[in-house]
Amino acid sequence: MTLRNFDPQTADSLQAELNRQRDGLEMIPSENFVSMAVLEALGSIATNKYAEGYPGKRYYGGCEKIDEIESLAIERAKQIFGAEHVNVQPLSGAPANIAAYEALLEPGDTVLGMDLSHGGHLTHGHPVTQSAKIYNFVRYKTNAEGKLDLENLREMAIEHKPKLILVGYSAYSREIDFERVQEIADEVGAMTMADIAHIAGLVAAGEMNNPVPIFDLVTTTTHKTLRGPRGGMIMCKMKHAKAVNKAVFPGLQGGPHENVIAAKAVAFKEALLPEFKEYARQIKLNAKVLERIFNERGYRLMFGGTDNHLLLIDVTPKGTTGAEAETALDKAGITVNKNMIPDDPRSPMDPSGIRLGTPALTSRGMKEAEMAQIGAWIDEAIMNRADDAKLESIRQQVKLMTAKFPLYEGLEY
Ligand SMILES: *Cc1c(COP(=O)(O)O)cnc(C)c1O
């Protein structure tokens, strides 16, 4: 019984979503397109198995083959990042961070994390999260030029004596000097944690600094630039291995999603290929083209530009807002997300900026020439945001372009 025969309603929605992914320009920087091999593992029979525990030490029988799969994922992750210990069970990035805090901290401990509007993530201590009720998060900010300010970080570390210094961001587009952060942590006796959820693929390819050999602990998602299934992962020094494993299971989670772990293993194999290095290099080249176009056209780039896969752009100089720009771009077939800019005077639901990135389009094979055209379309859509006919005409041109970069050829629901 196929999905289409059994449940045409779900099949219809999946097909429509596939068409949306095919026809539009996906520029949300946390999104990507996994390979058919990753999809196959994700949809595999490994989903049927309960395997609470870890390879070789499970609470259920029949885990021999599942152990092989999970061990493969762990070994490949170690190889990619140079990690001493890896836990591939976190269900996603947020639970990976919660488990990491549980492994390293006691309730009430102080953590230095970056402010959300300056590029940090909700899970780095935003008051709406449960973690913020358990630990004492102190938020640092980027400096007036918009860069990560390690001198200020050092001063705050000396003042607040944190147990943990947390770096790694969601909307920050610059390189991070992990060695300097580690020196600061050593000076005040703090532990270090990096959340490389966004940049993991670039780190894996050697296109950005790698904190794993330096820091106490590193968390990541596997579904952003790393181009694997939706999931999380924790890498750490051996001295934290036991605490990390305990924090993930039984501390936070139950049975691991072994189909997802199988898909992680496949994605890690891909990340070890020379083609993946090329992919990561192209992600950055493509982002640089967009940086140039938006500079030329008078937008304000936060953090002064980009060293990675994303741009955070203040659209208010164009007389519009993040929400308005997002809506206009949607109509033009270009998907981005509205985003706060540092110390945004506007509200989270209608902030000053948009955030966009190149990982998904680069996965489709798009290069510099396409980026130049796309940058021009984005500007045109924003400048003509009230002109539905103009937005529709861009959408038609977008469709012609995307048709030249087939996505999941032959796939049908
Ligand atoms: C995306 C992201 C997360 C959360 O990942 P989810 O899989 O959505 O839970 C955590 N930290 C950072 C820095 C992120 O960008």
pLDDT for 204 equals 98
Three-state DSSP class for residue 294? helix
Over residues 268-275, the mean pLDDT reads 98
In this structure, the residue with its CA closest to atom 4 of ligand 1 is 93
Distance CA 64, CA 74 (A): 15
Q: Are strands 310-314 and 217-221 parallel, antiparallel or unpaired?
A: unpaired
User: Residue 122 corresponds to which amino acid?
Assistant: L
Distance CA 186, CA 347 (A): 37
197 lines ligand 1 (CB under 6 A): yes
Over residues 292-305, the mean pLDDT reads 95
Is 412 a known active-site residue? no
The active-site residue out of 50, 109, 269, 288 is 50
Distance CA 331, CA 384 (A): 11
Over residues 5-13, the mean pLDDT reads 98
In this structure, the residue with its CA closest to atom 6 of ligand 1 is 93
307 lines ligand 1 (CB under 6 A): no
Q: How far is the CA of 297 from the centre of ligand 1 (A)?
A: 31
Q: How far is the CA of 25 from the centre of ligand 1 (A)?
A: 22
Q: How far is the CA of 89 from the centre of ligand 1 (A)?
A: 15
Q: For 168-209, what is each residue's pLDDT tens digit? A: 998 999 999 999 999 999 999 999 999 999 999 999 999 999
Q: Judge contact between 106 and 165, C-beta under 8 A.
A: no
Ligand 1 pocket test, candidate residues 91, 122, 123, 199, most atoms within 8 A of CB: 123
Three-state DSSP class for residue 236? strand
How many Å separate Cα 3 from the centre of its chain? 30
30 lines ligand 1 (CB under 6 A): yes
Question: Is 292's pLDDT higher than 80?
Answer: yes
Domains of the chain: 9-29+274-402 (3.90.1150.10), 39-271 (3.40.640.10)
Is 281 a known active-site residue? no
Task: Find the distance separating the first CA and the last CA of the chain, reported in whole Å.
Answer: 13
Is 52 a known active-site residue? yes
* Residue 141 structure tokens: 């900010």
* Residue 372 structure tokens: 């130049």
Q: How far is the CA of 236 from the centre of ligand 1 (A)?
A: 18
Is 75 a known active-site residue? no
Which ligand 1 atom lies nearest to the CA of residue 124?
Answer: 11
93 lines ligand 1 (CB under 6 A): yes
Q: For 245-258, what is each residue's pLDDT tens digit? A: 999 999 999 999 99
How many Å separate Cα 373 from the centre of its chain? 25
The active-site residue out of 4, 230, 292, 297 is 230
Burial class (CB in 10 A: 0-12, 13-18, 19+), 138: middle
Question: Is 336's pLDDT higher than 80?
Answer: yes
**pLDDT mean across residues, the chain:** 96
Question: Is 403's pLDDT higher than 80?
Answer: yes
Q: Judge contact between 197 and 94, C-beta under 8 A.
A: no
Looking at 51-65, 145-159, 230-244, which range is the least confident one?
A: 145-159
* Residue 387 structure tokens: 């002109």
38 lines ligand 1 (CB under 6 A): no
Q: Judge contact between 308 and 203, C-beta under 8 A.
A: no
Q: Which of these, 213, 211, 190, lies nearest to 105 by C-alpha position?
A: 190
Q: Judge contact between 32 and 361, C-beta under 8 A.
A: no
pLDDT for 4 equals 96
Can you give the pTM of this predicted structure? Answer: 0.96
